[in-house]
Structure 1
Amino acid sequence: MSEFDPVAFLERAVPVASNEDVAEMRELLVETLASHGVEPTVDDAGNTLASKGDDDPERHLVFNTHIDTVSPHVPFERRDGRGDGDDSDDVIRGRGSCDAKGPLAAILAAFFAVEPADGARVTVAVTPDEEVLSTGADALDLDADLYIVGEPTGLDVCTAAKGRFQGTLRLSGVASHAAEPASGVNAVFALEQALTAIRSFDDGRDEHPQLGAATLTPTTVEGGESTNQVPAECRLVLDRRSVPPETAEEFRSSLESAVRDAVPDDVGVEFSLTDRPTPFLEAFATDDDHELVQTVAAASRRAGGSGDVRPFTAATEASYFSPAPVVVFGPGVLADDHGAVAHAEREYVRTDAVRRAATALTDAATELVGDT
């Protein structure tokens, strides 16, 4: 059995388009696991799962990341700067290089390297639909003690992230001729009071110690059917970036109540969350002092990373595993000094960062569940 090289795997993985269909990428993943002595399974939701160690463990560590990417596919490119002695210039470019095939490569290296101790188990769980609806993560039933989610964090250890909810506020009135506005109820007029309630919605709420304040942002608005008619309906879409302990339903109920109190009694108010087949990515937070956090942070520093502990700036499937202890960690960055990296035409990951992430995850996993 050949030794696993995370950069060589990444060179194979990035050219495989997985923005519209993950089947070919999943086939590569299954083949890679099998070729290194681990027989994976693919469940009905398309998750790829593989485990080593005790079937009834006292401690179970799960590595998770995803294989889907956003459209359009960006071709693979390898720029090798090692010839001039600057290893930091050795980069792999292309869609998924940092989000999240670079983290996947580091996770696989750690998974293959760690030998679970007696009473311990390590699992890799790779989802197919993180960028859209998280149908894979929603179907997972792992019941583990510790989770490490692979995303581009620049080798920082991320212990929290805001959630993202979306919904539509509907204000309803009564249509009438615009020449006789008093004979109707103007739903667009009520938008003024609704927006006032939205601006003040979080007034007086305590900020989260790791994530700061929640945000509430109106994003699109529609209203009225005819230019000579008092509008009977106005619709406003809202984007909510939540912090613990707020849930999607708590947000929906409290927002609707706040707007109801603000608008005239003759205006109808309904706020509904966007319909989706899976739960929203809610906020999560793991105590910075938890063993998982401190172990991964120390391993990152030993491997040449920062080991800094901070929140993650994007929503992740880590929320599906909380309230169990979970951290987000991996090579690559969402953005650099020149602009967006993940989900962008210039997406890249540094090969030295992939190797350092692999070393850090191997070290951390060995300490947490390994036979030392």
Structure 2
Amino acid sequence: MSGEGFDPVAFLEQAVPIASNDDVSEMRAFLVETLEANGVEATVDDAGNTLASKGAADPERHLVLNTHIDTVSPHVPYEREDGVIHGRGSCDAKGPLAALLAAFFAADPVPEARVTLAVTPDEEVLSTGADALDLDGDLYIVGEPTNLDVCTAAKGRFEGTITLRGVAAHAAEPDSGVNAIDALAPVLDVIRSFDDDRDAHPDLGAPTLTPTLVDGGANSNQVPAECQLVVDRRSVPPETADDFRSTLQAALEAAVPDDVEVEFALTERPTPFLEAFATDPDHELVTTVADASQNAGGNGAVRPFTAATEASYFSPAPVVVFGPGVLADEDGAVAHAEREYVQTADVRSAAAALTEAVASLVH
């Protein structure tokens, strides 16, 4: 599997059986071995990112190819049938990785250009790898299962907890206390109406705000002094996590009774949330990948991606999401599901499309 003879499907047949849900070490070692077998020097940085580059050290154009090697649990064993590879990571995202590798190995950038492969170790959890990257790229292609469509935008995903604090009292004398659970009524009204005056994004549609978990009260015969409600936010540009936090806090303070203390805090995490991103559909990056996809057998469709990705770490630089496989099909979930699979023909088509696109972008 060296030189110009790199076969993305053969790579995938070896990669999918390697469990990378709890520990990516074995998969990363296989990736480094593959890069070196194809004549490319690879490094692993302190954050666990696998990095390799071709071309100018100080380029006028720098194209970055990115995806991840970690997978969700549990590991699903590899199976192969005619034209289909089953197993955890087959479409999310070892299939896209195989296609990106084919394009990277084939790339021959002009003297003033550079192409970098950056493969992260924990996209499915906290994105500490992506957060540590400092690539200064001009263009980014992120490998995810898009069914060979070119995805130019995705909603962000934030999470936080609304805490309501009242005063405990005997339930026989409820007016002697302040009921924190009762204050959920205006909170839920705020959540339902939060986006009523916001315009929908032209590509991503309207943002959503959804209550997902609730906890409150200590005893069944006591007026509850505290209540927590967790909310899930799917954002659209230009909203940031800080914008969302401050706007929701203000709306809650205006709606909740004065005798109830209300606080909204984003869930603590060591890396930034995956925020929304949007690339101009008319940008050269988009049209180049779309044309190449169509030439390779895809339909050349340009659309939003329906899941959050590490593409948000590279925005506002132009970024697209592209790869073989699907998140779901007519029978249900595919990525993150026990039936995860990818069509080998789609892997080859994605490899051909990316090879053409990369060649066009760095020549």
| TM-score of the two chains, using structure 1 as the length reference | 0.96
User: Deviation digits for residues 224-278 of structure 1, max 9, x if unmatched?
Assistant: 1111111111100000000000000110111111111111011001000001000
d(CA) in 1 for partners of 2:16, 2:186: 50
The answer on 1:41 being equivalent to 2:43 is yes
The answer on 1:76 being equivalent to 2:69 is no
Residue identity matched to 1:17: A
d(CA) in 2 for partners of 1:13, 1:264: 57
Aligned residues: 361
Matches within 5 A, 1:1-372: 1-2=2-3, 3-80=5-82, 90-370=83-363
d(CA) in 1 for partners of 2:70, 2:168: 46
Give the fraction of aligned pairs with identical amino acids, expressed as a percent. Answer: 77
Residue identity matched to 2:75: H
Cα displacement (A) at 1:124 = 0.3
Partner-residue secondary structure (3-state), 1:198: helix
d(CA) in 1 for partners of 2:203, 2:341: 28
Residue identity matched to 2:339: R
Partner-residue secondary structure (3-state), 1:107: helix
Partner-residue secondary structure (3-state), 1:359: helix
| TM-score of the two chains, using structure 2 as the length reference | 0.99
d(CA) in 1 for partners of 2:112, 2:202: 35
Q: Which consecutive aligned stretches of 4+ in structure 1 deviate over 3 angstroms post-superposition?
A: none
d(CA) in 1 for partners of 2:74, 2:352: 32
Partner-residue secondary structure (3-state), 1:196: helix
Cα displacement (A) at 1:79 = 0.4
User: Deviation digits for residues 152-179 of structure 1, max 9, x if unmatched?
Assistant: 0000000000000000000110111111
Cα displacement (A) at 1:211 = 0.2
Residue identity matched to 1:79: E
Cα displacement (A) at 1:192 = 0.4
Partner-residue secondary structure (3-state), 1:282: coil
Partner-residue secondary structure (3-state), 1:187: coil
Structure 1: segments with no counterpart, 5+ residues = 81-89
Partner-residue secondary structure (3-state), 1:189: coil
d(CA) in 2 for partners of 1:75, 1:150: 22
Partner-residue secondary structure (3-state), 1:240: strand
